[in-house]
Chains A and B, each alone.
Chain A
Amino acid sequence: MSELSKAKHNRIKIALAGTPNVGKSVIFNNLTGGRAWVGNWPGTTVEKKVGKMRIDRQDAEVIDLPGIYSLTAYSLDELIARNAIIEEKPDVVVNILNASNIERSLYLTISLLEMGANVVVALNMIDIARERGYEIDVRKLRELLGVPVVPTIAIKGVGIDELKEEIKKACRGRKTPELIINYGDEVEREIEKIISVLEKDPALIKKYNKRWLAIKLLEKDEDVIERVRKSQVASMILKQVEKSIKTLEEALGRDIEEYIAEKRYEYAFRISNECVKVVREVPQTPSDIIDFAITHKVFGIPIILSILYMAFKFAFDVATPLVDLIDWFFAAFLYDIVKSSTLPEVVKSFLADGVITGIGSILVFLPNIVFLFIFISLLEDLGYMARAAFIIDKIMHRWGLTGKSIIPLIIGIGCNVPAIIATRAIEDENDRNVTALVNPLVSCSARLPVYLVIAAAFFVAYRGVVVLSMYLLGMLLAIMMALLLRKCVFRGPSTGFIMELPPYMTPLPKNVLIKTWERTKRFLFKAGTVILLATVLVWALSVTGPSGYIGTEALEDPTLLEKSWVGVIGKTMQPLFYPMGWDWRAIAALFFGFMAKEIVVSTMAVLYGAAGEEELPKMLSMAFTPLSAYAYMAFVLIYVPCLATLAALRGELGLKYAILALIYEILLAYLVALAIICIGIPLGLK
């Protein structure tokens, strides 16, 4: 079978399998030099990721997979992993175990061995096992499993070379002996019977291990049943299976599927008991003490909010000089060079009033955005995500969601696109759909420049509070909208969630930097493509109009600008926003902002003819009142997901739900902005 797949793809395939959060992605990066996303919570990887590794002067394909506990999938990401192992039949499966949690890791190892996979075991996180006072007898483990076992500390690169050696050896075709667990006489007898029927289809048992097939059929594995259905003796096989299940369930007096799972777990427990010794007693760890505060019933949420607020405030204060520097570079230095050059007037305006003003108005906030990215990366690596799922569950289940939904919502603060994909790790289908649909309401980094510009114009003294209020508003609306969707569209009880709680870890500077850089790169790429194009478009539509070319003076003269295409767009839409009292230029900015929300700022910068983070707020303070500006911020937060987010929603949920998201967001944005005005005016706010 391994010869066959090699001939087909002419390339060796190595899959990484293991329980969630054991360090598969770190090992993948070590083996391939790749940059798979690494984070300290179960469910970081939700997609297959392929890399390359040299084996005997040949390129081998290494596949990083989402975490799984067994070969029976329970959520979408697990299905991806399961299919990669069962269908694609990798030549070698590197099974990564958590040394500090062997018994739970071994369940999968046993399942893989039963299947007859060519397994190499990496015993990862031995540093944590030692910290907890465990000593693991590697030789014994090797003996009991009958496969190579390599102890590793992936984050330090310990044991990686040995692992590579073992993988190479396994690639050269050493077949692992299949593991046989005795499930008890009665079950074994039925397994025999099923096998004898299976043997009537040689094609089937050539493809899969027959004992494994028989066990899986007893376990009522739907996917395996489907496969067997294609056989020409399907009816015979299935009849025998049905009979066996009936006999066994009567004899055992319980569900056969659970019985088999329990037996397998018992076996794992026995192996772990034989290989793991407690050599040292470990009293309460610092992790326990931190957990006591973070997971506190009453103080858990306030504690984390105040930590975040202080961190934010600190970072923004630190960022200020950097922001000023970038501001000077674009608004003064570059702008003046172009303006005082001898280029033709149109080109000068295009470069200075269009490109430099537009792009500069976004890039000034690069330091703030980078700090935001650092925070999210730190939260991911510390191990906070699973704790957040715990404390928020108490609130979320009342709203018809599960605590696990908070993880994609937190990731959304960086960018909604990966966050929507991350919902795959949520088990319940309704929960997953709802979490993806409300995700665009979470304030992503693209909206930060809008808040910062407006806060600088109106709320200098309360800048931190005002910006934070937008984030909270986004979260609140997301949760409320989720309730509504759960009650109206995706009905039915939630099955809840189960998730291992990873230990707190000190974030590795390297990993935090890589992740921050990857996110920043995406932002810079966007600035250089979509935002740049939009800015050019806005400039072009500002200097031309229904009457033809107006001239670059339009950008300095508002009455002239009204006659441009942008003026037409803004003026046409203005009556819609009559109650909010927004300037038509701000409304035109909303029009262009559907491509990416940063474009709201760059468009305003071009239209108000103001570059940088000092000029623009000054112009805005004339065009808005504080109240209408706050309503505008809320509107930008909520209205339409950006194009990339819509595409992600379409990919995960289909076109229908992407359109649903688009429509509900526009309506919600309008309602919220209106509500802010309607509540604000009677309160005497302006």
Chain B
Amino acid sequence: MPLSFAPEGHLVRVVCIRAGRGLSRRLIEMGIAPGKVLRVVRTLGAGPVIIEVCGDKSKSVSDRCNLCCTSCGNRIVIGFGTAMKILVEEVARRE
């Protein structure tokens, strides 16, 4: 499903990025690559999302995140156009 439709508060894993060269590259440079786990902090439902990057493919959640990422705090706003190009799958529900 596109990241834009991911439910709020859930953890999702990036499956693939269907974007042009420049954009895919920029996403990777910001840590959003296939295999990474993201926490959906806020969505507006089929609109932009706010996410936190939680970890990499080896672990579902990074070592650095305690409280399942609430303390990570490094959030990224992803606009609708871009969020539709990031395909994700659900990992686990929070709590």
Contact = CB atoms under 8 A, between A and B. Distances in A.
The yes or no verdict on A and B being binding partners is: yes
Interface of A: 69-70, 72, 74, 100-101, 103-104, 107, 132-133, 220, 255, 257-258, 261-262, 265-266, 269, 272-273, 276, 278, 281-285, 287-288, 291, 295, 297, 386, 389-391, 393-394, 397, 402-404, 493-501, 503
Contacts of A133: 66, 71
B73 A100 contact: yes
Interface in B20-49: 20-31, 33, 42, 44-45, 47-48
Contact of B47 (A70, A273, A394): A394
| Highest count of chain B CB atoms <10 Å: which of A257, A261, A389, A404 | A261
Contacts of B19: 495
Contact of A403 (B23, B64, B75, B77): B77
Contacts of B42: 291, 295, 390
A432 to B, nearest CB: 14
A670 to B, nearest CB: 34
A419 to B, nearest CB: 20
A496 B71 contact: no
A277 to B, nearest CB: 9
Contact of B71 (A103, A261, A281, A501): A281
Given A291-B42, A397-B80, A104 B71 contact: no
A23 to B, nearest CB: 15
Per CB-CB distance, the 3 closest pairs between chain A and chain B, nearest first, are A496-B81, A496-B82, A394-B47
Contacts of B26: 69, 74, 498
B63 A273 contact: yes
17 contacts: A69-B30, A74-B26, A100-B73, A100-B74, A103-B31, A273-B64, A281-B67, A282-B70, A287-B73, A386-B77, A389-B79, A397-B47, A402-B81, A495-B22, A498-B82, A501-B77, A503-B73
Nearest to A133: B71
A393 B47 contact: yes
Contact of B28 (A261, A276, A493, A497): A261
Contacts of B44: 297, 390-391, 393-394
Given A220-B21, A497-B79, A498-B77, 14 more contacts: A255-B21, A269-B31, A278-B71, A282-B71, A288-B70, A297-B45, A393-B47, A397-B79, A397-B80, A402-B79, A495-B20, A496-B80, A498-B27, A501-B76
Contacts of B22: 74, 495
A258 B67 CA distance: 31
Contact of A497 (B29, B67, B73, B81): B81
Nearest to A500: B76
Contacts of A100: 73-74
Contacts of B47: 393-394, 397
Contacts of A261: 25, 28-29
B45 to A, nearest CB: 7
Interface of B: 19-31, 33, 42, 44-45, 47-48, 50, 56, 63-64, 66-67, 70-71, 73-85
B83 A295 contact: no
B27 A269 contact: no
Contacts of A266: 56
A220 to B, nearest CB: 8
Nearest to B82: A496
Nearest to B81: A496
Which one of B64, B70, B79, B84 has the highest number of Cβ atoms from chain A below 10 Å of its Cβ?
Answer: B79
Nearest to B73: A132
A533 to B, nearest CB: 44
B66 A493 contact: no
A397 B81 contact: yes
Given A496-B80, A496-B82, A393 B74 contact: no
Contact of A258 (B25, B31, B83): B25
Contacts of B64: 272-273, 276, 278
B25 A498 contact: no
Contacts of B75: 500-501
A107 B33 CA distance: 14
A104 B74 contact: yes
A525 B85 CA distance: 48
Given A74-B22, A273-B64, A497-B82, A101 B74 contact: yes
A393 B48 contact: yes
Contacts of B28: 258, 261-262, 265
Nearest to A431: B81
Contacts of B78: 496-498
A132 B72 CA distance: 8
Contacts of B63: 273
A266 B64 CA distance: 15
B66 A278 contact: yes
B42 to A, nearest CB: 5
A285 B73 contact: yes
A271 to B, nearest CB: 13
Contacts of A285: 73
The winner among A107, A287, A404, A497 for most chain B CB atoms within 10 A is A497
B81 A500 contact: no
Nearest to A259: B28
A493 B20 CA distance: 12
B3 to A, nearest CB: 11
Of listed A74, A496, A499, residue having the most chain B CB within 10 A: A496
A500 B74 contact: yes
A496 B81 CA distance: 4
A394 B77 contact: no
Nearest to A288: B70
A107 B80 contact: no
A283 B72 CA distance: 10
Nearest to B51: A501
A426 to B, nearest CB: 11
A494 B78 CA distance: 13
B76 to A, nearest CB: 5
Contacts of A402: 79-81
Contacts of B50: 295, 390, 501
A269 B29 CA distance: 11
Given A261-B28, A295-B50, A498-B27, A269 B77 contact: no
Contact of B83 (A287, A291, A496): A496
A265 B14 CA distance: 16
A353 B73 CA distance: 60
Contacts of B77: 386, 389-390, 393, 403, 497-501
A272 B77 CA distance: 22
The residue among A273, A283, A501 with the most chain B CB atoms within 10 A of its own CB is A501
Contacts of A494: 81
Nearest to A220: B21
A394 B49 CA distance: 10
B59 to A, nearest CB: 11
Contacts of A70: 29
Contacts of A397: 47-48, 79-81
Contacts of A493: 81
A523 B56 CA distance: 51
